[in-house]
Structure 1
Amino acid sequence: MNNNDLFEKAPISKAYFKLALPVVLSMVISLVYNMVDTYFVAQTQNTNLVAGVSLCAPIFTLMIALGDIFGIGGSSVISRLFGQKQDKEGKNVSGFCFYSAIICGILISILMLIAKDSILTLLGTNKATLPYASQYYTYMALGATLIIVSLTPSNLMRTEGLATESMLGTITGSIVNIILDPIFILYLNMGAGGAAIATIIGYFASDLVFIYLVLKKSKKLSISLKHTHITKSELISIFTIGIPASITNLMSSFAMALTNNYLVTYGNDKVAAMGIVLKINMIVLLVMIGFAFGAQPLLGYNYGSGNIKRLKEIIRFDLLVEVAFALCTSIILALFTPSFIKLFMNDSSIVQSGTVMLRCLLLSSPCVGVILVFTTLFQSEGKALPAFILSIGRQGIVLLLCMIVLANIFGYVGIICSQMIADIITAVISLILYKAYK
């Protein structure tokens, strides 16, 4: 079956899983890496070190967000162009996105190093966590380009049906990272800096694999400078979809920073507990993101080709998969929450706090699945306004309002329940937007 048949004629379930499962597997490997990374950091048994790395998590998310401008924005445009049989234009968009990501990464490295002290203060560091956060931050800033660039080919390759090849690039980097983590963090006693260096080297390995696969496997994409000419409308489309997609991750950084700033008044152990909880919650979240991103080229292609009947069938199947997975996985994690937290840090205070935090997040995970489906749908269709609204909702404006109100009324309990309430509200908003824009 050629790629056009996969997008146009294959049964929905077969096309969906062929595109989505490699992305899900990539996310699972990334999840393993994140778990291993947190595990080895936690094995230092230094609460301030764990908290320092956790405080810098928004920086990593910021880089992913910037990569999404060209990765998701570009894939949205390319999917629709391929659906309209405009392969040459799609190739030019791919080249433009690749080199734009490189330029963006270099600029971000420079800006992050210049504004280092101010950003670390904004992230909520204190005297105890600053040395560790500063070390982690510096290495991540130096390697920003490698992280941002990796998001472009990993997303664009799926528009051509090369989901398995995209998976190979992601897995390679994660495996390199997993191998290097214990060496740098524990054996060489490099602590937070070692964790960051391992991450950067892992992304460098991914970039090399992606470049090789695009050159050898792709027939429609390019990383050549001669394929970088795009029209004004294509440029606008990349940014009108890429920026809302980026904002989604920026809001994730904002949400982590906001939550940490509220929690730090209750002690560094609460910040450390939340850092561990967010890693565990990725078990559900990253797989759900994998399904959503895996379906995105399928949605964009059929929207671009005008096959609305098939598009609606894909949406229904996507919702079924997301919600069913969220329910099943959340139940399992909720039952064994304390045991999962103890795998990272067997501290009674952290286990007790983390158990309540994680169960609150798991309660609203089906709502997150609904949000992901409609967010990726609007991105695939090039509908910037609803995509933007959802991007600034769940972990942005809606969370901020929930945090302010609930923290003032219920204190600590209100803080840890804020994301759950924000998820429910944003899911309702996503359904309203779908009805309005379908």
Structure 2
Amino acid sequence: MDELFSKVPVKTAYFKLALPVVMGMITTMIYNLADTMFVAKTGRPDLVAGVTIGAPLFTFLLAVADIFGLGGSSVVSRLLGEQRHGLAKRVSSFCLYGSIITGIVLTGLLLLLEHPILHLLGAKPATYEQAAAFYRVLSFGAVFIIFSIVPQNLIRTEGLASQAMIATVAGTVLAIILDPIFLFVLRWGTAGVALANVIGYFFCDLLLIWMVTKKAHYVTLNVHQARIHKREIGEVIAIGIPGSITNFALTFGMALLNSSLAAYGASMVAAMGITQKIYGVVILVIVGFAFGAQPLIGFNYGAKQWQRLHEILRFDFLVEVTYAVIVGGLLIIFSRPVAALFMNQPVIVHAASYMLIATLVTTPLVGLILVYTTVFQSMGNARGAFIMSVSRQGIIYWVALEALKHSFGYNGIVWAQAASDVLTCVLGYWLYRVSLDWKDKLPRR
């Protein structure tokens, strides 16, 4: 493991760790696209809108998982860089069992608060039934969704990125197989879509448990190792909460967006749902590269290998921006025919293609934002991670949405994300320069 993280050439180590994460993200992306296409092919906008309205719950569950997944992997990767293997084991066990307990508690709370939460997410009388069916199944499966994220992140700190990818791909492929069966054969509507997701995550969990037991050296399911001191719990939470808030903010942003678009009809909500799925073609891969490199960044930061860390970050920035420019540009050019693949209704195609252009134009900046965020997480810089987490889809997005909505109406709503991306990137660059003073760390030439 130490050889990969500290001695293998940067490009080789980067792609060895990041590409499996990207492949897992691409598989998830394919499922998201297929899922949207399956629902859209029913020809029922209420089903598309129901899944779109219920989707923030899924994001919320991932946000909770990130407390233990991102927070735990950040701490463990630095501990491994510092050669503190025993403590790394205990932190990993705490995170695994903490996620299980949290998932069980959340199931009860989500079912109890179903009505007010769905209304907050933008459910209206015409869409409530389908949104509620999707919501209930995901609530029952909360523990399986939350748990799956944690061992995926933790075993990558040992260089087991390919094993994490295998589990993710297997679960996603199963969900893709089940989705049309539940939707078209059994006619279970949005509940069937949600159930396919939950079963896929459960299968992924089983594979990850096997891999932790058989492959991992420092990540453990030994419950007796789960006790750690308040300091380590604080470190996990200090980084995990900002990572979690990133997804909470995404949920918040999606809810704001859906509520704002609801005034323009179910077709506009459905168009944005299609847009968000296509947008994932770029964003999920960008996220894959960013978080795939996180264990490499954290290990070298913990080991104080400053020259290597600088090379890793420069290459990370280059990969993110290059990918975003190429793929984002192609999707902008072909926005209309791509949108038509999902629901070939003129009103929805026109709206979705316009929304795609507005959201994709700033994707290179999103790549930079994600690198800044993973750097702060890997360093244990809770303040920088927190500021970034509440910015792009949180405070800055809310301010941009409200200001542009009142000034430009529908057009302002559509372009609010692009405005937020620009402002957040500027903020991230400033925090990065303040947090890492390379003049003190790199040898002078």
Amino acid at match of 1:143: G
SS at match of 2:83: coil
Distance apart, 1:232 and its partner CA: 1.7
1:213 to 201, 211, 214: 211
For residue 343 of structure 1, what is the aligned residue in structure 2? 341
Distance apart, 1:39 and its partner CA: 1.0
Distance apart, 1:115 and its partner CA: 0.3
Distance apart, 1:82 and its partner CA: 0.1
Distance apart, 1:341 and its partner CA: 1.0
Distance apart, 1:221 and its partner CA: 1.0
Output the CA distance in 1 between the equivalents of 2:175 and 2:68.
24
TM-score by length of 1: 0.99
2:224 to 221, 226, 240: 226
Distance apart, 1:343 and its partner CA: 1.1
Output the CA distance in 1 between the equivalents of 2:360 and 2:100.
37
1:144 to 133, 142, 145: 142
Output the CA distance in 1 between the equivalents of 2:41 and 2:206.
31
Output the CA distance in 1 between the equivalents of 2:35 and 2:175.
8
Distance apart, 1:436 and its partner CA: 1.0
Amino acid at match of 2:383: L
Output the CA distance in 1 between the equivalents of 2:244 and 2:217.
28
For residue 334 of structure 1, what is the aligned residue in structure 2? 332
1:16-55 CA-partner distances (Å, limit 9, x unpaired)? 0000000000000000111111111111110011101101
SS at match of 2:291: helix
1:296 to 278, 285, 294: 294
1:363 correspondence with 2:361: yes
The 5-angstrom pairing of residues 15-414 of structure 1 reads 15-414=13-412
Output the CA distance in 1 between the equivalents of 2:352 and 2:327.
18
Output the CA distance in 2 between the equivalents of 1:206 and 1:163.
14
Output the CA distance in 2 between the equivalents of 1:327 and 1:85.
39
Query: What 5-or-longer segments of structure 1 have no aligned partner?
Result: none
Distance apart, 1:71 and its partner CA: 0.4
Distance apart, 1:231 and its partner CA: 2.0
How many residues in Structure 1 have an aligned counterpart in Structure 2?
436
Output the CA distance in 2 between the equivalents of 1:374 and 1:211.
31
Consecutive aligned runs of 4 or more in structure 1 exceeding 3 Å deviation:
none
SS at match of 1:222: coil
Distance apart, 1:372 and its partner CA: 0.3
Q: Superposition RMSD on alpha carbons, in Å?
A: 0.6
Query: What 5-or-longer segments of structure 2 have no aligned partner?
Result: 437-445
Distance apart, 1:402 and its partner CA: 0.2
SS at match of 2:342: coil
Output the CA distance in 2 between the equivalents of 1:416 and 1:207.
37
1:95-145 CA-partner distances (Å, limit 9, x unpaired)? 110000001101111000000011111111111101100111110100000
1:44-92 CA-partner distances (Å, limit 9, x unpaired)? 1100111011011110000000000000000000000000001111011
TM-score by length of 2: 0.97
Amino acid at match of 2:235: S
For residue 439 of structure 2, what is the aligned residue in structure 1? none
Same amino acid, percent of matched pairs: 47
1:247-266 CA-partner distances (Å, limit 9, x unpaired)? 00011001100000000001
For residue 418 of structure 2, what is the aligned residue in structure 1? 420
Amino acid at match of 1:83: G
Amino acid at match of 1:40: F
